[in-house]
Structure 1
Amino acid sequence: MKEVYILLTDTGTTLNRTIKLVTHAPYNHASIALDKELNEVFSFGRKQPINPLYGGFVQEDFVKGTFSWYPETTCAIYKLEVNERIYNKMLRLIAAFKKNRKWYYYNFIGLFGVPINHPIEVPSSYFCSQFVAEILRRSGIKLFNKPSSLVSPNDFRSANKLDLVYEGKIYDYPELKLSYNPKKYNSFPFRKYVAQQIKAAFDGNSDEREYYFRDGFVKPKKILFERKIRDASSIIKK
């Protein structure tokens, strides 16, 4: 048997708090994880931490992604046991999403259909819990007696095939603490960050960075600074 995990989260953002006023649910984002260590976690959500309106298919990144901007995020993690055939089918489905990720969009309209129990399906578009439910459905796992477009994150909490394995702050999850320490830097190395950003802007290598703004560092400064670096590099390259 194989194990997959359903991750429900609440970042505590203004958008999340607004949603909770309507849903009255503790978690308003759902992801599916292919491993216990949460190295491969997929969902539909923000493509950029600072922009809640720019969404689509994403692979969650606990070091550089949205969660790293909200280290107080709370979560519930559920385990689901599946056979190898179902697990391999999940791998193929997610691989297809990864390959065509630029063609998928966030189903904002579909969110309005959930509270009125009216499914709104938009081609190549999903919201987070719709995506997770659809991956399970297409793999042969039936958790709900309703369309995936009516499944909310809160529905997973009452699914009888899921076993709760952890609930608490996401960065206190034992398996994640082994690989990521959000308090690595007691004080932010701003000069090293500046040198790194300038180097990345001019040589085009943005993947081998060591320092990131996170854990309460001033985000508007980061946004403004990176915009200035991009503008300066584009002018010089011309």
Structure 2
Amino acid sequence: MGYVYIMLSDTGTLFTTMIKKYTKAPYNHASISFDPELKELYSFGRKNPKNPLHGGFVKEDIWTGTFRRYPDTICVIYKLEVSERQKAKMRRVLNVFIKNNNKYLYNILGVLGVSVKEPIEFSNSYFCSQFVAEILNRSGIKLWDKLSVMITPDDFRSCDQLELIYEGKLLEFPPILQHNPFN
């Protein structure tokens, strides 16, 4: 058995503040990682930290990307126990995203669909929590009885199978502090 890590975050940007006002949830972005130091962190979000309108599949980097631009980002990190076979399946699914990186778009209409409780899906188009749920689903891990396109970051917070390991400022997460290249 091994683990994958789910991080929910709030950068405090204008876009995330608007989402928070609507959802009343403390976190509005979801990412998945295969290591406890979050070196391999993937999601759907900003391709360029300065441009919230250009989104898609991203390999997030705490030290150079959006999180670096917003150092006061708060987060909650969970671990999920998975078999080695499930983890290998997740990596295979993820590799399809990596190889076809430029073919994926951010599913902003899907986010609106969640708000009106109507699934809106397009091929090659995801939002962050939909993407994380899809990686899990395609690997045989079904945490909810609803479509991936209806999963919100807050759904992860209420999932009993996830074990909370940290809540606070992202840059103060102990494994990240130990590997801070700017110290």
- Structure 1's consecutive aligned runs of 4 or more residues displaced over 6 angstroms after TM superposition are none
- Pairing 1:173–2:181 present: no
Q: Mapping of 1:35-54 within 5 angstroms?
A: 35-54=35-54
Distance 1:62 1:20 in 2: 22
Q: Which amino acid aligns with 1:114?
A: V
Partner AA of 1:31 in structure 2: S
Higher strand share: 2
Matched with 1:222 is none
Partner of 2:76: 76
Structure 2 unaligned regions, length at least 5: none
Which letter does structure 1 place at the counterpart of 2:55? G
Shift in Å, 1:181: 5.1
Q: Distance in 2 between matches of 1:140 and 1:123?
A: 20
Letter in 2 for 1:149: V
Structure of greater relative contact order (alpha carbons < 8 Å, 6+ residues apart)? 2
Note the alpha carbon deviations across 1:115-167, whole angstroms, 9 max, x for none.
22110001100000000000000000011110000000010000110000000
- Deviation sequence 1:104-123 (CA, Å, 0-9, x none): 00001111111221100011
**Which residue of structure 2 aligns with residue 142 of structure 1?**
142
**1:100 corresponds to 2:100:** yes
Q: Percent identity?
A: 55
**Aligned mates of 2:112, 2:66 — CA distance in 1:** 24
The one-letter code matched in structure 2 to 1:78 is Y
How do residues 114-129 of structure 1 correspond to structure 2 at under 5 angstroms? 114-129=114-129
Q: Normalised by the size of structure 1, how large is the TM-score?
A: 0.76
Is 1:85 the counterpart of 2:85 in the alignment? yes
CA displacement, residues 172-203 of structure 1 (integer Å, 9 cap, x when unaligned): 00001111155x4xxxxxxxxxxxxxxxxxxx
Alpha-carbon separation, structure 1, partners of 2:150 and 2:34: 23
1:61 matched to 2:54? The reply is no
Deviations along 1:24-48, whole A, 9 cap, x unmatched?
0000000001110111010000000
What residue in structure 1 maps to residue 24 of structure 2? 24
Give, in whole Å, the separation in 1 of the partners of 2:28 and 2:180.
24
1:1-51 Cα offsets, whole Å, 9 max, x none, are 111000000000111111111000000000001110111010000000010
* Counterpart Cα distance in 1 of 2:97 and 2:32: 13
Distance in 1 of aligned mates of 2:75 and 2:170: 6
3-state SS in 2 of match to 1:117: coil
Kindly tell me the number of residue pairs found equivalent between the two proteins.
183
One-letter amino acid matched to 2:129: S
Larger radius of gyration: 1
Query: Which one has the bigger helix percentage?
Result: 1
After superposition, the CA RMSD in angstroms is: 0.8
5+ residue gaps, structure 1, are 185-238
